[in-house]
Homo-oligomer: A and B are copies of this chain.
Amino acid sequence: MKRRSVLGLLGLGAAAAPALAAQKKAAPKYRVVLQVSDNDPARWTLALNNAKNVQADVGAGEVQIEIVAYGPGLHMLKADSPVAGALAGALDASVGLIACENTMQNLKVSRDEMYGGIAYVQAGVTHIMRRQQEGWAYIRP
């Protein structure tokens, strides 16, 4: 019950619940949200590499990482994304992949067209703002 209301506050859909619960148990020392708002596969790869490098540097258990794709960056998280293979690796490494539903509405993209296993928020930009107010670091690769 309580978990659901907290997730509601964060604007996270039900899909994100199990991953978040698991991450919360770990009580990571660092928390960082990476923003992807460019339609540029090179930058998507940079964001995914940033996540990998942070985990390698401080230890995967010591850091909670989310990558939020919105605006022109949404395409990164589509099922037919050119970086789809790396998305699988990121999910396996417990990196949160989060798509913006406002952008999806604007671009008429449905969840069926998105990569499986990702999470959703109503507005990517609001989620990033909230994360910072909660103390998360912010990286815009």
Interface of A toward B, CB cutoff 8 Å: 11, 30, 32, 35, 37, 42, 46, 49-50, 53-54, 56-58, 63, 71-72, 102, 122-123, 125-126, 128-130, 132-133, 135, 137-141
- Report the bound CA distance from A68 to B9 in whole Å: 28
**Which residue of chain B lies nearest to A121 when distances are taken between CB atoms in the complex?**
B57
Asked if A126 and B11 make an inter-chain contact with CB atoms under 8 angstroms apart, the answer reads: no
Main secondary structure of the interface of A (DSSP, over half): helix
Pairs across A and B, CB under 8 Å, 27 listed: A11-B57, A32-B129, A37-B46, A37-B141, A42-B72, A46-B71, A46-B72, A49-B71, A50-B125, A53-B123, A53-B125, A53-B126, A54-B129, A56-B123, A57-B102, A57-B122, A57-B123, A58-B126, A63-B129, A125-B139, A128-B137, A128-B139, A132-B137, A132-B138, A133-B137, A137-B138, A138-B138
